[in-house]
Amino acid sequence: MARSFQDITVGIVGTGFMGVAHTEALRRLGIRIKGIVGSSPQRAHEKAAAANLPPVVDTYELLLADREIEAVHITTPNHLHYAQVVAALDAGKHVICEKPLAVSVAEGEDLVARAKRAGLVHAVCFNQRYYPIVHQAHTMVSHGDLGAVRLVSGGYLQDWLLFETDWNWRLESEKGGALRAVADIGSHWFDNIEFITGHKVVEVIAELHTFHQQRNHPVGNVETFSAHTVGDVDRIVEEMSSDDAAGVLFRLENGARGTCTISQVSAGRKNFLNWEIDCAESAVAWNTENPENLWIGHRGQPNQIFKRDPGLMHPIAAATAAYPAGHVEGYPDTFRALFADVYQHIATGASGAAHYPTFADGLRSLQVCDAIGRSSHTRSWVTVTD
Ligand code: SOE
């Protein structure tokens, strides 16, 4: 018998953009969040007061020592993920980690092995899979409704790092990792594509672009997406090497071909993940700025728009929707839907297969991103190592 979500107690580490998103989604599910840890107790208290976060716990060690807490959400900068996941698994906690799972393939491999050994639930927040329309496209492809996948195109565009004065920890490679736009948002796009098509990316040729060789950034902490609200403050000039944008050509394991553009410097594109998947009989296209509508392209009949409607969607896709048709669901809802899957698994004693992205998917993403980085470096096709 499944336990009620209300009987599950969890903790969160990280009080930034993602810490808030996780808090809100967990509250909607009725899961008790006993404590949240920030980069310092003072910052955590300030943020907790401003954003109505759970009670602050002073250190991560104290959070892990709490026996009531059975799962930990890790929403800190990327370089902290590895050690925090290891500590959580060692403390016997289930782990829900933000993407990227780690900053290198070697770290990712180690975390997959540790999670398996520990026998605990391990999830990675590829939340953008949980737009109900993405699940609908996944079921249409896997049921053969569209024919074999042949061509995939699209990308992920944002503009919050457009100006040389824009800043966030993601731009510091010691914190974000060597790859930036590719790891931060390209990872979501490739996860969407592998999830929908059911085919792995096997080869890539890519070019990374650093348009701002220098950034003139504010001193101190700047929250994700908030750089343009920073006023007249002290700034320092920093040499930059990470990718503002990237172009990727790729091959899927079934022989399908793809192209992807990733950018965090595309004016006007706030958070635009988009794809078109052209199959042997029909095509589908979708984007996050219009998340309720799936375009279905035909040759011999008029094209269609499939609006998100739990009553008409495949049951697997309908299960990711919380509201009826016409009541628009968007980005925050994807976290609710992902965590519902994860906690359903925990509530049933983690028996049976996981239907949500696990550490194996987190590792897979690190492998794809690593191949993109190597390809840009060697200016050649690179095989994605599995
Ligand atoms: C910033 O680019 C960011 O918050 C990413 O880190 C998230 O993963 C993405 O969902 C939205 O944009």
Which has the closest alpha carbon to 98: 110, 121, 82?
Answer: 82
**Statement: residue 247 has pLDDT above 90:** yes
| Whether the model pTM is above 0.95 | yes
Q: What is the pLDDT of residue 233?
A: 78
Over residues 24-35, mean pLDDT: 98
In this prediction, residue 302 carries a pLDDT of: 98
For ligand 1, whether the C-beta of 78 sits within 6 Å is no
Percentage of the chain beyond pLDDT 70 is 99
pLDDT value of position 235: 87
- DSSP class of residue 78 equals H
Mean pLDDT, residues 310-323 taken together: 98
SS3 219: coil
288 lines ligand 1 (CB under 6 A): no
Q: Looking at residues 277-299, what average pLDDT do you find? A: 98
Give residue for tokens 């500590």: 87
Rounded to the nearest angstrom, the distance between the alpha carbon of 1 and the centre of ligand 1 is 36
- Where do the DSSP E strands lie in the chain? 9-13, 32-37, 71-74, 94-97, 122-124, 149-157, 201-209, 214-218, 235-239, 245-252, 257-263, 272-279, 283-287, 293-297, 304-307, 382-383
- Of 168, 224, 262, the one to substitute when testing ligand 1's pocket (max ligand atoms within 8 A of C-beta) is 224
Q: Is the CB of 331 under 6 A from ligand 1?
A: no
Rounded mean pLDDT, 167-176: 93
| pLDDT, position 227 | 67
Tell whether the model's pLDDT for residue 386 goes beyond 90. Answer: no
Phi, psi of 165 (to 5 degrees): -90, -5
pLDDT at 324: 98
Q: Do residues 379 and 160 touch, judged by C-beta distance below 8 A? A: no
The Cα 88–Cα 111 span in angstroms is 11
pLDDT score, position 320 = 98
Determine the straight-line distance between the first and last CA of the chain, rounded to whole angstroms: 37
Distance 148 CA to ligand 1 centre (A): 31
**How many other CB atoms sit within 10 Å of the CB of residue 140?**
22
| Tens-digit pLDDT profile for residues 95-151 | 999 999 999 999 999 999 999 999 999 999 999 999 999 999 999 999 999 999 999
Q: Is residue 371 a contact partner of residue 249, using CB atoms and an 8 Å limit?
A: no
Q: How far apart are CA 138 and CA 55, in angstroms?
A: 39
pLDDT for 107: 98
For ligand 1, whether the C-beta of 185 sits within 6 Å is: yes
Say if ligand 1 is within 6 A of residue 192 CB.
Answer: no
Q: With a cut of 70, say whether residue 326 has pLDDT above it.
A: yes
- Between the CA of 255 and the centroid of ligand 1 the distance, in Å, is 30
- Name the DSSP class of 380: S
**Mean per-residue pLDDT of the chain:** 96
Q: Which residues of 319-332 are buried (b: 16+ CB within 10 A; e: fewer)?
A: bbbeeeeeeebeee
- Residue 230 pLDDT exceeds 80: no
pLDDT at 232 over 80: no
Give the distance (Å) from ligand 1 centre to CA of residue 185.
6
State if residue 191 touches ligand 1 by the CB under 6 angstroms criterion.
Answer: no
Nearest CA to 37 out of 25, 54, 17 is that of 54
Residue 33 bridge partners (DSSP): 10
